[in-house]
Amino acid sequence: MNEGTPSRRRDSSLSREKLFDAASELFSERGFDRTTIRDIGERAGVDPALIARYFTNKSGLYTAVLRAELGDAPPPDLLAPERLRALFDRGDRRGTGPVFRSAVQAHDDDAVQDAARAQLYLRMVDPLRERFARDGVDRPQLRAELAAAAFIGVLLARGAGTLDELAAADLDDLVPLVLATLGGLDV
């Protein structure tokens, strides 16, 4: 290093964190397909080539974001009012995330689709299936998948704004109605 040249210290953990945070925001805003490696690098303020170093590729980064969103504790099921409210609130603020999108549109990248599907089951279907099985509900797996699909449909329709009253509904009114619908699967 020349004496007149400033020292450039690389902080790999900070660069990794910046890439991760930028990707998390962009994947939530745009989805996997419309987010480029260049976009992630620009938002993070670091060289996008570092994605390959820390995450292998964009799919690896996407998978890391999906896993981190869940955290360590298993989430409550959709029939927990606070969980349902939190999901609607997040959808209202950030739009539908990649996990919910995977339920209605397959990703071109098989690894991404597999990771999103696994997260969808872990976050939504499995907790409901466990509740339904515990409660002795007939066909708990099918009913859990049906309830998850119904919720995602409501969330997507609310975000699209096409159904006027649904889009404008206050969460204090919406959450009990959705709970009644999801919980009223007794057939």
Q: 119: which 2 tokens?
A: 């997260």
Task: Look at the domain 12-67 and name its fold.
Answer: Arc Repressor Mutant, subunit A (1.10.10)
Instruction: Return the residue matching tokens 């907790």.
Output: 127
CB 77 within 8 A of CB 147: no
Q: What is the pLDDT of residue 184?
A: 64
Work out the percent of the chain whose per-residue pLDDT is above 70: 90
Domain boundaries, the chain: 12-67, 74-183
Give yes or no for residue 111 having a pLDDT over 50.
yes
Nearest to 147 by CA among 96, 99, 183: 183
Residue 104's SS3 state is coil
The structure's pTM equals 0.74
The pLDDT mean for the chain works out to 85
**How far is residue 85's CA from residue 91's CA, in Å, rounded to a whole number?**
10
Backbone angles phi, psi at 186, to 5 degrees: -70, 115
Give yes or no for residue 1 having a pLDDT over 70.
no
Residue 169 DSSP one-character state: -
Contacts 24+ apart (CB under 8 A), 101-106: 101/31, 103/148, 103/149, 103/152, 104/152, 104/156
Q: What is the pLDDT of residue 84?
A: 92
Q: What is the pLDDT of residue 103?
A: 83
Compute the average pLDDT of residues 123-138.
Answer: 93
Nearest to 68 by CA among 128, 17, 29, 108: 17
Per residue in 68-104, pLDDT (tens digit) is: 876 677 788 999 999 999 889 888 877 776 677 778 8
Give yes or no for residue 6 having a pLDDT over 60.
no
Work out the percent of the chain whose per-residue pLDDT is above 90: 49
Per residue in 29-75, pLDDT (tens digit) is: 887 778 999 999 999 999 999 999 999 889 889 888 877 876 677 78
**How far is residue 6's CA from residue 81's CA, in Å, rounded to a whole number?**
55
Compute the average pLDDT of residues 132-138.
Answer: 93
Compute the average pLDDT of residues 97-123.
Answer: 81
Q: 112: which 2 tokens?
A: 């991404």
In this structure, the number of other CB atoms found within 10 A of the CB of residue 113 comes to: 16
Q: 23: which 2 tokens?
A: 């990707």
Q: What is the pLDDT of residue 54?
A: 94
In the chain, which residue ranges form alpha helices assigned H by DSSP?
Answer: 12-30, 37-44, 50-55, 58-70, 81-94, 98-102, 110-120, 126-134, 140-160, 164-168, 171-183
